[in-house]
């Protein structure tokens, strides 16, 4: 079942097209990594998913229902943290959760609130005012607000901002726990690509408001599609040798160097073939992380 269905949405701010005909689907139980550079349209898309921004065109469905017509009913099932953890400085952590529990249709008990505080590691600071909190603590409280009503869909925009390495690991474990143990759908955007790589089952990369890549993480980072970049003292000779070899099929049409997309087991053979052809090799670099993939697809569409 699709929890999120985005059909051809666009958002225009004056002359700037922040999101351009974007379509994607998120299935129930997915951890969906939403990636893009700064200004690529991630936050605008997330704000449209939460009806904070009205799309210029296109449609959004959550849980199979149009967001525009069923906004209130649908937002009851959604918990979200958007960009910065902006909170009321004069309220305590517990008061924040009580306040946001109150505006939910379902009854949320004090023990639910305490459990949420425990879940985000703020039990011992629950009665402290937020103005005394570090950025990381505010971020955790923001996640607590998103979780307090036990939503089916959790939208987290940069949830690891301001967190220390332990805090980042805690959020990663929390996302994994929410998806695996509680069957929740998590839509997460982050700049920490290594973190997304570890948790996301599906990935969507956008650039300048447009979708540039997407699919299952395993397929995108398929070892049969490892990116190989070679550096040589004589690029012209290298290309000449490659084009008459069996590796010509793996060559990528790039102008910024010699790149291949090939199965991992072929890499030693490529190395050997280049040496045998007397190509003065300086470096053979394999790129198969999400970061490499992200940089590859976004640089291709500059």
Partner 1 sequence: MWKLISVELYKIYKRPRTYIAFGAIAALIVVIQLGLKIDGESYSGFLMKDINDTLSIEGKILNGYLICYILLQLLLVHVPLLVALIAADMISGEANLGTLRLIFTTPYSRTQWVMAKFVAASTYTILLLIWLAFLALFVSIWIFGTDDLFLMKSNYVVLITEGDVMWRYVGAFVFAAFALMTVTSLGFLMSSLANNSIGPIVGTMSAIVFLTILSTLNIPLFSLIKPYLFTTHMNNWKEFFDLQVNADNEAIKGSILNIAKIKNSLIVLTLHIILFVGASVLIVKKKDILS
Q: Are 32 and 5 in contact (CB under 8 A)?
A: no
Cβ 79 to partner 1 shortest distance, Å: 9
| Comparison of 90 and 255: residue with beta carbon closer to partner 1 | 90
Q: Are strands 210-216 and 202-207 parallel, antiparallel or unpaired?
A: antiparallel
The C-alpha atoms of residue 184 and residue 64 are separated, in whole angstroms, by 16
For residue 75, the minimal CB distance to partner 1 (Å) is 5
Residue with tokens 């045998």: 276
Closest CA to 251 of 260, 241, 262: 260
Per DSSP, 25 falls in state: E
Q: Are 227 and 260 in contact (CB under 8 A)?
A: yes
What's the closest the beta carbon of residue 38 comes to partner 1, in angstroms? 15
Q: Shortest approach of partner 1 to residue 159 CB, angstroms?
A: 15
Alpha helices by DSSP H, listed for 121-278, are 135-147, 165-180, 193-199, 217-220, 235-243, 267-276
CB 189 within 8 A of CB 156: yes
In whole angstroms, the minimum distance from the beta carbon of 76 to partner 1 comes to 4
Rounded to whole angstroms, how far apart are CA atoms 158 and 300? 24
17 vs 104 by CB, closer to partner 1: 104
**Residue placing its CB nearer to partner 1 in the complex, 91 or 284:** 91
Instruction: Give the residue with the Cβ less far from partner 1, 82 or 242.
Output: 82
User: CB neighbours (10 Å) of residue 111?
Assistant: 8
Instruction: Return the number of the residue (11 or 211) whose C-beta is nearest partner 1.
Output: 11
- Cα 208 → chain centroid: 16
* Cα 32 from Cα 196, distance rounded (Å): 9
CA angle 132, 134, 139 (to 5 degrees): 115
CB of 99 to partner 1, least distance (A): 6
Interface residue list for partner 1 (CB under 8 A): 47, 50-54, 71-76, 78, 80, 82-84, 86-91, 95, 99-100, 102-105, 145
Closest to partner 1 by CB, 135 or 261: 135
Q: Compute the least distance from the CB of residue 173 to partner 1, in Å.
A: 25
Report the residue number, 12 or 23, with the smaller CB distance to partner 1. 12
């Amino acid at each position: 079942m699709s929890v999120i269905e985005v059909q051809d949405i666009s958002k225009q701010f004056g002359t700037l097209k922040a999101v351009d005909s974007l379509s994607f689907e998120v299935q129930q139980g997915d951890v969906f990594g939403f990636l893009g550079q700064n200004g690529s349209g991630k936050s605008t898309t997330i704000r449209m998913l939460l009806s904070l921004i009205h799309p210029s065109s296109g449609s959004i469905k959550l849980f199979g229902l149009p967001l525009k017509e069923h906004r209130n009913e649908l937002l009851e099932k959604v918990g979200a943290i958007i960009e910065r953890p902006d909170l009321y400085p004069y309220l305590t952590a517990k008061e924040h959760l009580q306040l946001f529990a109150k505006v939910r249709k379902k009854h949320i008990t004090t023990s639910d609130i305490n459990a949420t505080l425990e879940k985000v590691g703020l039990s011992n600071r629950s009665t402290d005012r937020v103005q005394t909190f570090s950025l990381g603590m505010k971020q955790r409280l923001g996640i607590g607000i998103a979780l307090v009503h036990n939503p089916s869909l959790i939208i987290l925009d940069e949830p690891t901002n301001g967190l220390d390495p332990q805090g980042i690991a805690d959020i990663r474990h929390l996302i994994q726990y929410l998806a695996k143990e509680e069957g929740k759908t998590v839509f997460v955007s982050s700049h920490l690509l290594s973190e997304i790589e570890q948790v996301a089952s599906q990935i969507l990369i956008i650039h300048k408001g447009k979708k540039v890549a997407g699919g299952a993480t395993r397929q995108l980072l398929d070892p049969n599609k490892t990116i190989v970049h070679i550096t040589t003292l004589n690029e012209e000779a290298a290309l000449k040798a490659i084009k008459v070899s069996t590796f010509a099929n793996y060559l990528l049409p790039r102008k910024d160097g010699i790149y291949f997309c090939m199965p991992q087991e072929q890499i030693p053979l490529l190395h050997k073939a280049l040496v045998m052809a007397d190509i003065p090799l300086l470096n053979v670099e394999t790129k198969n992380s999400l970061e490499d993939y992200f940089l590859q697809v976004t640089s291709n569409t500059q």
